[in-house]
Structure 1
Amino acid sequence: MSMRIGYGFDSHAFKAGVPLVIGGLKMEHHEGLAGHSDGDVLLHAITDALLGAVSAGDIGSFFPPSDPRWKNADSAIFLETALEEIAMAGYRIVNIDTVLVLAAPKIGPISGDLRQRVAELLHLKPSEVGIKAKTPEGLNQDHVAVAHATVLLESIVVSDGLERMTAEAESDAEINGVVESLIGGRHDMTALGRKVPGFDADDLT
C-alpha cells in the first residue's frame, strides 16, 4: 500500500451583492466571495489538494476562468472531478484537514454543519474531516477569505474478485465497466473541463 499527501490553498476577496458559499454551504452574510465560479474558497483549496496529491495538475487546468461554462458554477462539480482523478489513479482519501482564515462571519457556530457538508461531498465520515477557523490577526486580510487544505491518500487494494473480473473481461468495454464499478460510475465527465496541455496556475479569483 502506498500513501500520498496533497496540499491546496486558495483566497478570495469579499464582494457585495453575491451569496456567500463556503464548503458547499450558503451562509448568512452581507457579502459573498468574488470569483468566476461561486467563489467557494474551501472547496477550491480541497480540490487543489486532491489533484496535487496524484500529480493531476490544478483547478485552473481543469476549469480555466477564461471558459464561460464555469461562470457561477457550483464548486462541488470541481470537487467531484478531483475525486474521479484520485480514483482513476488508484487512491482513496484517508482523511483531510483544513484551515479557514477570515475575519467574518464566525465559523464556530456552524462548524459542525460545515464539517458534515464537506464530508458528504467527499463521501467521507465527519470524523475524517478537520475544519478549523482562524482570524487574520496582524495580516491585514480583513476583507479576504483564505483556505488551506491537506489531504492524505492511500492506494486502493484491489480485491481478488475484482482482479478476476478484470482478467475475465474479454474487451476494452468490459474492462472499462469494471473500472467504472470501482469508482462508482456516478458521473459523465464529457461535459467537464480538462485537459489542456501543461498547467495553468491561474485560480478562479
Structure 2
Amino acid sequence: MSMRIGYGFDSHAFKPGVPLVIGGLAIEHPEGLAGHSDGDVLLHAITDALLGAVSAGDIGTFFPPSDPRWKGAASHIFLQTALEEVATAGYKIVNVDTVLVMAQPKIVPIAGELRERVAELLGVKPGEVGIKAKTPEGLNQDHVAVAHATVLLESVKLADTPVQMVTTAEVDDDIDEVVKGLVGDSRDISALGRKRPAFDTDDLT
C-alpha cells in the first residue's frame, strides 16, 4: 500500500461588504474574506494539500485568479477538482488535519459544525477531519485569516487478479486435448481480450 502526504496553506485579508465563508460554511461576521473567488481560506488550503499530495500542481494551476470565470466562485468547485485528481491518481483520503489562524471570529464554538461540513464536502467521516484554531499572537495579522492543511492519502486497493486456470497435464498432447475441450474447434473467441468498437469506424469523417 502506498501513502502520500500533502500540505496546503492560504491566507486572505478581511474585507467589508462581502459574506464570510470558511470551510464551505457561511458565518455571521461584519466582514468577509477578500479573494477572486469566495475567499474560503480553509477550502483553498485543503485543495492545495490534496493537489500537492498527488503532484498535480496547485489551485492556481487549475483556477488562475486572472480568469474571470472564477470571480466569486464557490470554493467547493475547486475542492471537487482536487478530489477528482486524487481519485484519478488511485488514492483516497485517510484523514485531513487543519489549523485556522485568525483573531476573529472565534472558531471553537463552530468547530464541530465546520468539521461536519468539510467532511461532507470531502466525502469522509467527521472523525477523519481535524479543525483547530489559533490566534495570531505576536504576528501582527489581526485582520487576516490564515489556514494550514495536511492530508494523508492511501492507494486504493485494486481488485484481486482473477485466478488463472491451470492444468496438470504432463505432456503436450494432453495439453492440446485440454484446450480443445475448453474452447472447441468452432467457438467464436474473437471477443476474448478485445472489445468490438461500439460504433462503425466507417462513419468517422
Match of 1:156 in 2: 156
Structure 1 Cα separation of the partners of residues 118 and 91 of structure 2: 19
Structure 2 Cα separation of the partners of residues 160 and 101 of structure 1: 45
Match of 2:58 in 1: 58
Q: 1:41-70 CA distances to partner (integer Å, 9 max, x unpaired)? A: 000000000000000000000000000000
Match of 2:32 in 1: 32
Structure 1 Cα separation of the partners of residues 108 and 102 of structure 2: 12
Higher helix share: 1
Match of 1:111 in 2: 111
Structure 2 Cα separation of the partners of residues 96 and 117 of structure 1: 13
Q: What TM-score, normalized to structure 1?
A: 0.79
Deviation at 1:171, TM superposition (A): 6.7
**3-state secondary structure, aligned to 2:29:** coil
Q: 1:43 to 1:172 in 2, by over 3 A?
A: farther
**3-state secondary structure, aligned to 1:152:** strand
Structure 1 segments, 4+ long, off by >6 Å, are: none
The aligned runs of 1:115-194 (5 Å cut-off) are 115-160=115-160, 170=195
* Structure label with greater radius of gyration: 2
Q: 1:170 to 1:96 in 2, by over 3 A?
A: same
Structure 2 Cα separation of the partners of residues 89 and 172 of structure 1: 27
Structure 2 Cα separation of the partners of residues 141 and 71 of structure 1: 25
Q: 1:54 to 1:15 in 2, by over 3 A?
A: same
Match of 1:99 in 2: 99
Gaps of 5+ in 2: 163-191, 199-205
Structure 2 Cα separation of the partners of residues 45 and 12 of structure 1: 11
Q: What TM-score, normalized to structure 2?
A: 0.79
Structure 2 Cα separation of the partners of residues 10 and 98 of structure 1: 11
Aligned residue pairs: how many? 169
Deviation at 1:123, TM superposition (A): 0.2
Q: Over the residues paired in the alignment, what is the CA RMSD in angstroms?
A: 1.8
Q: 1:153 to 1:135 in 2, by over 3 A?
A: same
Gaps of 5+ in 1: 174-205
Letter in 2 for 1:112: G
Deviation at 1:170, TM superposition (A): 2.5
Q: 1:171 to 1:122 in 2, by over 3 A?
A: farther
Letter in 1 for 2:116: Q
Match of 1:19 in 2: 19
Deviation at 1:158, TM superposition (A): 1.1
Deviation at 1:172, TM superposition (A): 8.8
**3-state secondary structure, aligned to 2:66:** coil
User: Using CA pairs below 8 Å that are at least 6 residues apart, which structure has the higher relative contact order?
Assistant: 1
